[in-house]
């Protein structure tokens, strides 16, 4: 008799159904696992054997064959241990033959029979729910699985004995409760930043419309400090976004204790990060920092120090909001709609724009042109706000703390985001949550320029040699500035401020 247990294989954040087939037959005493598994799957039989013995079940002296179907779908990871073990238990008669009908099963086993956490429980639960199945997963992942749906039945045992007792009715497992992670400790607040009013204004505009932003200024000006305070003014994730973000973090194995959080992700990879670390990939096609920052912020500090190919690989997700990773045997797509915040010094020494600075490389202009040329024009073109952050003066530092903190700014940002969501919903574009996400044709529908505004943008396009992309990015930025003010129409003043944030592309191309 062949026992069938349902489990999953991951392709990106999609959980594809996999059938674990177990057969115990007479013949040589072997335990074989077939079906295009990786090393972790091949090693699974040793864990299964020990876990069963530790739970008081010795394997029969027979031939045990496990097949993972479909055989042409690659299977990666350690989560096949539990479905294989439960399949063997049914085949041995240690569990009722219909016990696993209607369940998708995933989990890793320790040698003592304990069921240990695995990644990807949330997408597995969502897929199980879509197929009308329940889920059996490790106890620690239970709260994560419970987010998928209120209707699916979830069993989250600690070890093999608990699940056996559950099916024999001697110890019934209760359904886990979805958990939310609460923030611990005080968060950095905008109030800590003295002066730098224009940088704070740019940060507020970026937060309100989801725009990309680049701070350029000397060391110690407070660029990293400003960026670290962006999460405090961003609105929390909506329930739909929360689920999307958590699916990616679940596949990456980042959800500790099964607790999700409604805070927007803030990812700050070091500039030594490889291309695979930034955009995803590697042997297991894991999501990269850009995907982990989905619906949140990707902060690249010391931007020109990043490897140029890694930065250029970000151009695709910056435009399309997703990353396709291709492999010899498959292709998977991860969502990556992030807001890019970057910081850089004007040159290697960091002081190019300071009065009286003498640079070792000759003129400070040459030093900064060399440094800034590490960034490609098309990459810089995708950044809506370029801002020079001047060094902070001692007279600013001794000022009392600013009256306005993150709370007040966050309230204005939330209001501007509501206006945007309402507008795009009314136009029938439910998927557009903020101005930065609107396509060129959508943004044109929302902006009716008057004569003065039209003339300003025409003249400026010629003077700044704006690309078509640059032109639409200016329109989106102006829309956000108007939304922050609650203004229904985009006026000349809004366009003027938006254009003032676009100088650097021009200078970089002039220096090239």
Ligand X SMILES: Nc1ncnc2c1ncn2[C@@H]1O[C@H](COP(=O)(O)OP(=O)(O)O)[C@@H](O)[C@H]1O
Point out which residues bind ligand X (CB under 6 A).
193-196, 217, 219-225, 343, 392
CB of 228 to ligand X, least distance (A): 8
Give least dist CB 22 to ligand X, A. 57
196 contact choice in Mg ion, ligand X, none (CB below 5 to 8 Å, kind-dependent): ligand X
- Asked if 224 is part of the footprint of Mg ion (rule: CB under 5 A), the reply reads yes
From CA 413, how far away is CA 419, in angstroms rounded?
A: 10
Q: Name the one residue in this structure whose structure tokens are 């037959």.
A: 25
In terms of CB distance, is 351 or 419 closer to ligand X?
351
User: Which of ligand X, Mg ion, none does residue 201 bind to, with CB < 5 to 8 Å depending on kind?
Assistant: none
Residues with Cβ within 8 Å of residue 250, at least 6 apart in sequence? 13, 119, 120, 121, 122, 123, 144
Query: In whole angstroms, how close is the CB of 193 to ligand X at the nearest point?
Result: 5
Q: Residue 90's binding partner, choosing from Mg ion, ligand X, none, with beta-carbon cut-off 5 to 8 A by kind?
A: none
Closest approach, Cβ 343 to ligand X, in A, equals 6
For the chain, how far is it from start to end, CA to CA, in angstroms? Answer: 73
Nearest residue (CB) to Mg ion, 73 versus 268: 268
Helix residue spans in 155-238 (DSSP H): 160-168, 197-209, 223-228
Residue 247 binding target from ligand X, Mg ion, none, CB below 5 to 8 Å by type: none
Angle at CA 286, nearest 5°, toward 280 and 289?
45
Contact partner at residue 373 from Mg ion, ligand X, none, CB < 5 to 8 Å by partner kind = none
Question: Candidates 216-224, 393-401, 461-469, 487-495 — which segment interacts with Mg ion by CB under 5 A?
Answer: 216-224
In angstroms, the CA 507 to CA 512 distance is 9
Q: Which does 225 bind (CB under 5 to 8 A by kind): ligand X, Mg ion, none?
A: ligand X
* 380 closest CA partner among 337, 338, 344: 344
**CA atoms of 157 and 152, how far apart (whole Å):** 16
CB 152 within 8 A of CB 133: yes
Coil, strand, or helix at residue 21? strand
- Contact status: 188 vs Mg ion (CB under 5 A): no
Residue 392 contact among Mg ion, ligand X, none, beta carbon within 5 to 8 Å by kind: ligand X
Least gap, CB of 342 to ligand X (angstroms):
11
Which own/partner pairs from 285-290 qualify as long-range (CB within 8 Å, at least 24 positions apart)?
285/12, 285/325, 285/327, 285/330, 285/332, 286/251, 286/252, 287/12, 287/13, 287/248, 287/251, 287/252, 287/334, 288/323, 288/334, 288/336, 290/314, 290/317, 290/323, 290/336, 290/338
Minimum distance from residue 227 beta carbon to ligand X (Å): 8
240's contact among Mg ion, ligand X, none, with CB below 5 to 8 A by partner kind, is: none
Cβ at position 303, least distance to Mg ion in Å: 11
Q: What is the spatial distance between Cα 198 and Cα 204, in angstroms, rounded to a whole number?
A: 10
How many binding residues for Mg ion (CB under 5 A)? 1
The nearer residue to ligand X, 193 or 323, going by C-beta atoms, is 193
Integer angstrom CA distances of residue 117 from 202, 211, 378? 42, 37, 42
**Cβ-proximal residue to Mg ion, closest one:** 224
Query: Looking at beta carbons only, is 228 or 332 nearer to ligand X?
Result: 228
- CB closer to ligand X out of 302 and 497: 302
Q: Rank residues 74 and 188 by Cβ distance to ligand X and give the closer one.
A: 188
Which range of residues in 11-19, 219-227, 274-282, 357-365 is near Mg ion by CB under 5 A? 219-227
Residue 31 bridge partners (DSSP): 64
For binding to Mg ion (CB under 5 A), which residues are involved?
224
């Amino acid at each position: 008799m062949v026992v069938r247990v349902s489990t999953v294989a991951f392709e990106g954040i999609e959980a594809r159904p996999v059938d674990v087939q177990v057969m115990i037959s007479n013949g040589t005493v072997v335990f074989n696992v077939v079906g295009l598994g990786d090393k972790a799957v091949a090693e699974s039989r040793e864990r299964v054997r020990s876990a069963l013995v530790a739970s008081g079940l010795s394997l029969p002296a027979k031939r045990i064959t496990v097949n993972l179907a479909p055989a042409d779908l690659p299977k990666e990871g350690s989560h096949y241990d539990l479905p294989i073990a439960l399949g063997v238990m049914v085949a041995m008669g240690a569990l009722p033959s219909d016990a696993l009908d209607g369940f998708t099963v995933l989990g890793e086993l320790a040698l003592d029979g304990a069921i240990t956490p695995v990644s990807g429980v949330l997408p597995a639960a969502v897929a199980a729910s879509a197929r009308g199945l329940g889920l059996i997963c490790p106890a620690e992942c239970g709260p994560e699985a419970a987010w998928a749906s209120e209707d699916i039945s979830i069993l989250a045992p600690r070890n093999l004995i608990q699940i056996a007792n559950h099916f024999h009715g001697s110890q019934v497992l209760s359904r886990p409760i979805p958990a939310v992670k609460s923030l611990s400790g005080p968060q950095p607040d905008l109030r800590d930043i003295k002066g730098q009013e224009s940088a704070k204004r740019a940060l507020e505009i970026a937060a309100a419309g989801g725009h990309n932003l680049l701070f350029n200024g000397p060391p110690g000006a407070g660029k990293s400090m400003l960026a670290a305070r962006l999460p405090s003014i961003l609105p929390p994730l909506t329930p739909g976004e929360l689920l999307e973000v958590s699916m990616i973090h679940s596949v990456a194995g980042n959800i500790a204790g099964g607790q999700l959080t409604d805070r927007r992700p803030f990812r700050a990879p070091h500039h030594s990060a490889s291309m695979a670390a930034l955009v995803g990939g590697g042997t297991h096609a894991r999501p990269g920092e850009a995907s982990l920052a989905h619906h949140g912020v990707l902060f690249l500090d010391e931007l020109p120090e990043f490897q140029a190919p890694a930065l250029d690989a970000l151009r695709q997700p910056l435009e399309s909001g997703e990353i396709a990773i291709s492999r010899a045997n498959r292709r998977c797509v991860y969502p990556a709609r992030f807001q890019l915040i970057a910081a850089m010094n004007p040159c290697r020494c960091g002081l190019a724009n300071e009065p009286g600075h003498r640079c070792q490389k000759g003129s400070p202009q040459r030093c900064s042109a060399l440094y800034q040329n590490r960034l490609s024009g098309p990459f810089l073109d995708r950044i809506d706000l370029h801002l020079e952050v001047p060094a902070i003066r001692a007279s600013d530092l001794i000022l009392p703390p600013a009256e306005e903190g993150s709370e007040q700014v966050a309230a204005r940002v939330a209001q501007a985001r509501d206006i945007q969501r309402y507008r795009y919903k009314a136009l029938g574009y439910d998927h557009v949550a903020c101005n930065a996400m609107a396509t060129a044709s959508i943004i044109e529908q929302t902006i009716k320029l008057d004569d003065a505004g039209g003339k300003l943008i025409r003249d400026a396009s010629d003077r700044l040699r704006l690309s078509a992309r640059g032109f639409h990015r200016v329109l989106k930025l102006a829309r956000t500035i108007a939304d922050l003010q609650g203004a229904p129409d985009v006026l000349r003043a809004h366009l003027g401020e938006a254009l003032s944030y676009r100088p650097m592309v021009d200078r970089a191309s002039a220096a090239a």
